[in-house]
Every structure is written in C-alpha cells, then in structure tokens.
C-alpha cells in the first residue's frame, strides 16, 4: 500500500490550507506538516486501506532524521500474515563473526514468495540471554519478510529499536466510529488471538528446526507430557519456543564443530541420563547443551 493514497484521500475532504499542508507531506513524507486532526485521519485511512483494525494500534509514530512518519509494530505484521495468508516455508540460520543471522522465506496463497533476513549480535551471550536473542532474530526476519511480501515499505518495530537516533512518539489515537472499529473481515474465532500468534511462531520454528511429527511429539512429551501443540497453554508455548530456538542454535554449532550423528549421540547418552536425541531433552537440558556447544566453539582445541 502506498501512503500517498491515504494522504490523497485525507486531502479530498480538507480545506485549501489543509490540502497545501498535505501536499507538502506528499512530497517530503513528513507527518508533522499535518494538523493533529489530519494526522489521525491519515492513520485511520492507512488502516482501512490495508484491512487492519485501528483499535489494535498496528502502527506507531516515530521521528527520524527530523521527520515524523509511521512504522509497523508487531500487531501490524501479525494481522497482515493472517489477512494475506502468509506462510513461513523456510527458516535458515547461521552464525558469522558473532552475528546470528536468520533467513526466512515466505509464500502467499497465490504462490508468490519472498525472503528477508534478520541479524542479532550474540557474542558473549549464553543461556536464556542467548535463546532470547535468537528468538528476537527470527521474529525480526519474519516481520521483515511479511511487510515485504505484502508490498509495504514500512520500517518494522524490530528495526526501529536498532536505530539510535530514532525517537518513538506517543501520539493520541482517533476516536474511531463504531463502523470504523469493526473488524474489516470478521470471522468467528474461539481461540484467543495471542494463542494463535504463539502457535504460528512455534510452528514456524518447528519447520526451521526440520523436526518431523514424531520428533515434535517426543519433544512435547519430554517437556510437558503432552502430545500436541493444541494442548499447550500460552506460557507453555512460549517455553517451547525458547526450547526450539536453543535446538536451532545447537544445530548450527554442531555443524561448526563437525560433529557426526554418532558423536552427538555418544555425548547426549553420557551427559543426559542415557538420552540419545535432542528431542528427548528438557528445556533446561537443551539450554545446558547449547552452552556447552558454544563454549567448545569459542575455545576449539
């Protein structure tokens, strides 16, 4: 979606003075040229043109290089993925010079595909901090590819956080009418949105780890004594996502150490009560295994 379309729509109902200001925005891309009323109207029309619910605040304001503009937050990417049926089909990771790099490929229902990357420094990180950094990197790549495949040139929230001079702005939201706040594409849904988002995150990570259904079931039983994702509560889904990020990171480190399947099986058996595969490890055990691999990679003999 082109922001200029929303600006033009806003201008169609404005005074000559407002139209002059909007014309400046059209050329310079700076929302500070708009009055508060016109800015809120612009915000609403952007949401309407994309089919997004403005009540969920899918965009926030940011001031960068002296200009105020909108950036897409996490709710924007989540809604766009559901609306356009965007699926993450591939998630590759690598560690290069202390940088964790995630390359994500996404496809739409009509067969289009796109890819994008996310990068996070992980040097000197370990344990939960390392797992969280890896999760953030995957999330960053997924949001970037979602915006890209939907044809949006917006900055994403995860990118804003890495720009030192960027200043987030708290701005009032419009008092939307009942018609405007109604979901654009209402569908009956008995599962909370947060749960659906968490499940999607976990399913994408399972694909990235290349776990087959049997391995996934073993991992679920080892950690929660449950055999399906549908049985997990939100906090368990978050825990399982961290486990999968550690699994993903361990795969990269095992490759760097040139371990054979036999080497890995022998190590797990000797150090984790006879367990022979990573799927059998609990989240705590997986974290310890990742820390060991990281130390071996940092200090090769």
Answer yes or no: is 9 within a domain.
yes
pLDDT number for residue 114:
92
53 and 95, same domain (yes or no)? no
Do 50 and 171 fall within a single domain?
A: yes
Q: With respect to residue 186, please indicate whether it lies within any of the assigned structural domains.
A: no
Q: With a cut of 90, say whether residue 267 has pLDDT above it.
A: yes
Query: Hey, which residues does 118 pair with through a beta bridge?
Result: 102
pTM over 0.85: no
pLDDT digits (tens, 9 = 90+) for 111-124: 899 999 988 898 88
Are 223 and 273 within one domain? Answer: yes
Within a domain: 217:
yes
Instruction: For the chain, give the secondary structure using H, E and C.
Output: CCHHHHHHHHHCCCCHHHHHHHHHHHHHCCHHHCCHHHHHHHHHHHHHHHCCCHHHCCEEEEEECCEEEEEECHHHHHHHHHHCCCEEEEEEEEEECCEEEEEEEEECCCCCEEEEEEEEECCCCCHHHHHHHHHHHHHHHHHHHHHHHCCCCCCEHHHHCCCCCCEEECCCCCCCCHHHHCCCCCCCCCCCHHHHHHHHHHHHHHHHHCCCHHHHHHHHHHHHCCCCHHHCCHHHHHHHHHHHHHHHHHHHHHHHHCCCHHHHHHHHHHHCCCCCCHHHCCHHHHHHHHHHHHHHHHCCC
* Co-location of 88 and 25 in the same domain: no
Same domain? 17 vs 110: no
Statement to judge: residues 276 and 151 lie in one domain? no
Shared domain check, 252 and 136: no
What total of structural domains would you count in the chain?
A: 3
| Buried-state track 231-261, b at ≥16 Cβ within 10 A, e below 16 | ebeeebbeebbbbbbbbbbbbbbbeeeebee
Same domain, 86 and 63: no
N-to-C CA span, the chain: 54
Q: Mean per-residue pLDDT for 248-276?
A: 91
Judgement on whether residues 156 and 171 belong to the same structural domain of the protein: no
Tell me, yes or no, whether 100 and 243 share the same domain.
no
Q: Are residues 285 and 213 in the same domain?
A: yes
Q: Percent of the chain at pLDDT above 70?
A: 78
247 assigned to some structural domain = yes
Q: Residue 26 domain-assigned?
A: yes
Q: Give the range of the structural domain holding residue 259, as residue numbers without chain letter.
A: 193-298
In a domain, 144, yes or no: yes
Q: Are residues 53 and 173 in the same domain?
A: yes
CATH code, domain carrying 147: 3.30.160
Model confidence over 156-211: pLDDT tens digits?
Answer: 766 666 665 556 565 545 444 444 444 444 444 456 777 888 888 888 889 888 89
In a domain, 187, yes or no: no
């Amino acid at each position: 979606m082109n922001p200029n379309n929303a600006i033009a729509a806003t201008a169609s109902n404005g005074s000559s003075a407002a139209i002059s200001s909007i014309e400046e925005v059209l050329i310079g891309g700076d929302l500070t040229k708009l009055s508060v009323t016109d800015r809120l109207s612009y915000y609403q029309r952007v949401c309407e043109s994309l089919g997004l619910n403005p009540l969920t605040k899918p965009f926030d304001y940011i001031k960068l290089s002296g200009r105020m503009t909108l950036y897409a937050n996490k709710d924007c990417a989540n809604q766009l993925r559901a609306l356009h049926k965007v699926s993450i089909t591939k998630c590759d990771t690598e560690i290069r010079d202390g940088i964790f790099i995630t390359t994500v490929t996404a496809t739409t229902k009509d067969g289009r595909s796109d890819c994008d990357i996310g990068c996070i420094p992980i040097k000197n990180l370990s344990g939960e901090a390392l797992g969280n950094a890896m999760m953030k990197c995957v999330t960053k790549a997924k949001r970037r590819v979602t915006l890209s495949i939907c044809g949006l040139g917006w900055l994403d929230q995860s990118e804003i956080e890495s720009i030192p001079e960027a200043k987030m702005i708290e701005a009032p939201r419009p008092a939307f009418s009942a018609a405007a706040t109604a979901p654009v594409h209402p569908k009956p849904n008995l599962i909370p949105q947060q749960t659906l988002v968490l499940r999607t995150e976990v399913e994408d990570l399972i694909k990235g780890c290349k776990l087959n259904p049997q391995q996934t079931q073993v991992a679920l039983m080892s950690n929660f004594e449950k055999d399906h994702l549908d049985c997990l509560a939100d906090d368990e889904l978050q825990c399982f996502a961290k486990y999968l990020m550690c699994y993903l990171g361990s795969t990269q480190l095992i490759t760097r150490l040139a371990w054979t399947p036999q080497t890995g099986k022998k190590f797990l058996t000797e150090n984790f009560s006879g367990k022979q595969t990573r799927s059998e490890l609990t989240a705590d055990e997986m974290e310890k295994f990742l820390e060991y691999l990281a130390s071996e990679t940092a200090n090769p003999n």
